[in-house]
Chain A
């Protein structure tokens, strides 16, 4: 299990780093194998920072991330490499995730030299083909190509395949379909559903409520770095309790339901000062927490 415990991150901002911006504030939740947890929030809500902390690209200011029984921030060398065999990320822009002058084979060969130096060619090839097949790509059709010869959907699947090569158990998917076209994005989303069925735990970061609703088991709504509401997806979407969640849901453009008349904007606090505690979460139902407001 991947467990986030009272995780916080404060950035230094401004010309000389004198300002403080607390991007994430006391965030705690768990990701179990075979579970999709979606982090939903508007820009500046801290959702990407949380993903980057799980991947150890950013160090937390306070709090811990536990992977099984190890504190992720204390991992070094061999232990860190083992962590990356288990936990990988895929990001928003598939076009900038690749080295444009390397063919896809070479991108994958780097995984082989980094993580599987002892594996012989045939075993590697079989492993590679299995990974590509599990993301519905034809190995012959993609391996000899340069990134610019492939579509965004194909590139994004290749990144997932690259993560699968490492026998990962958790995947951080940060806005992985927001740059894809409508007709292909649903296939990448369904791919996450298949990975989940194979027992992968997935952190799905998005600003799009309908995508989070479609794929996730658990939903975490973030605002200004704090969790305002979390719990089982059907409860958060079906019975939202926090005024912010309600206003988000009322603002989503839906296909078969028109926006209601303009409601009063809920009076919500601004971003709390760095160091202030996050509003406390209270249980409003089984597996459904909301911040007191």
Chain B
């Protein structure tokens, strides 16, 4: 197992109290796995990604452990975490456009970055040039300022920089969201290529766009309101989702070919709960068509089979006729 996350809990400090953005998250990531992390805004997916590399000042580590390649990551200790960053865990930020220093030529910026990590630019340079060519960039970009590149080119430069030291874990946070469809496809495919070539061992791709994940991810982890809802192979999550939230979410997505006149889709009524005072039990309960009395107890995240896990009472232990909860009969 490349990555093991155990009961990870991270809150945001606010004046109104702690926002429980990530609550008891447990999952594993296999070597070579590309895992998509999907969910709506505020579900905790970016918090999870950030927790694995750097907690920002508003975030408070509460409990939980993260193990990467058998070593415990000291995620709550900013300083002790530093040797792992870039070498073992690396991040492609959401806005690659603003991740590059506008006052430095790209080559100089990379050389300064490597120097700060105690790596000699000269020895890495041939590999850097090889990888730039691999993503379709001319090595001349090293002599250019970021302003001279297009958005898609900057995104590719950042991808090459982030993976330059062959990290074990790469976190890609919404990297395709601001791109046009053709660039989106190229960037998404580059992630797969980096994994295939062994530049990174495993990857977590954070996005709200499940259709992009379906194209490139091996597995998809769906989060809802700070907790895990479902994890399984990408194909199963899209074609045969089990959690009621995933089902409703997938069925609300329009596809090319689906038209309003012929097939009206519907959204999920209601909105996610506030994470300042999250409800006890299943957090999707208020919006769930299957909710019954037992959903007041928190559903465990149970394995349905070796690769598919879900946090829902109805799926884990379907109610037998006669002992159904009052609302479950409405199905």
Contacts of A254 in B (CB 8 A): 211, 214, 255-256
Q: B182's contact among A42, A184, A237, A256, by CB below 8 Å, is which?
A: A42
Residues of B within 8 Å of A, CB-based: how many?
37
Q: What is the distance, in angstroms, from A232's C-beta to the closest C-beta of chain B?
A: 11
> Knowing A182-B249, A185-B267 touch, does A258 contact B215 (C-beta < 8 A)?
yes
| Contact indicator per residue, chain A 174-188, by CB within 8 Å of chain B (1) or not (0) | 000000011111110
In contact, B181 and A251 (Cβ under 8 angstroms)? yes
- Note all chain B residues with C-beta closer than 8 A to A233: 259
Nearest residue in A to B261 (C-beta to C-beta)? Answer: A193
Which residues from A are CB-within-8-Å of B151? 43
Closest chain A CB from B10 CB (angstroms): 22
B209 contacts the other chain (CB 8 A): yes
The residue in chain A whose Cβ has the minimal distance to the Cβ of B210 is A255
B98 in the interface (beta carbon within 8 A): no
How many positions in chain A have a CB within 8 Å of any CB in the partner chain? 36
User: Is the pair A213, B252 in contact by a Cβ cutoff of 8 Å?
Assistant: no
Within 8 Å CB of B266, what residues of A? 186-187, 190
Across the interface, which residues of A come within 8 angstroms of B267, CB to CB? Answer: 183-187, 190
**Contact yes or no, B210 A193, CB < 8 A:** no
Q: Knowing A183-B249, A184-B268, A251-B181 touch, does A256 contact B256 (C-beta < 8 A)?
A: no
Within residues 231 to 272 of chain B, which ones have a CB less than 8 A from any CB in chain A?
Answer: 238-239, 248-250, 252-260, 264-268, 271
Which residues 196-221 of A have a CB within 8 angstroms of B? 207, 209-211, 213-215
User: In the complex the two chains form, what is the Cα distance from A175 to B111 in whole Å?
Assistant: 40
Within 8 Å by CB of A183, from B40, B180, B185, B189, lies B40
B319 CB to nearest chain A CB (Å):
25
Q: List 24 A-B contacts (CB under 8 A).
A: A42-B180, A42-B181, A43-B180, A181-B208, A182-B210, A184-B268, A186-B253, A186-B254, A186-B267, A190-B260, A190-B265, A190-B266, A209-B256, A214-B254, A214-B258, A214-B265, A234-B259, A248-B181, A252-B256, A255-B214, A255-B238, A258-B214, A258-B215, A259-B189
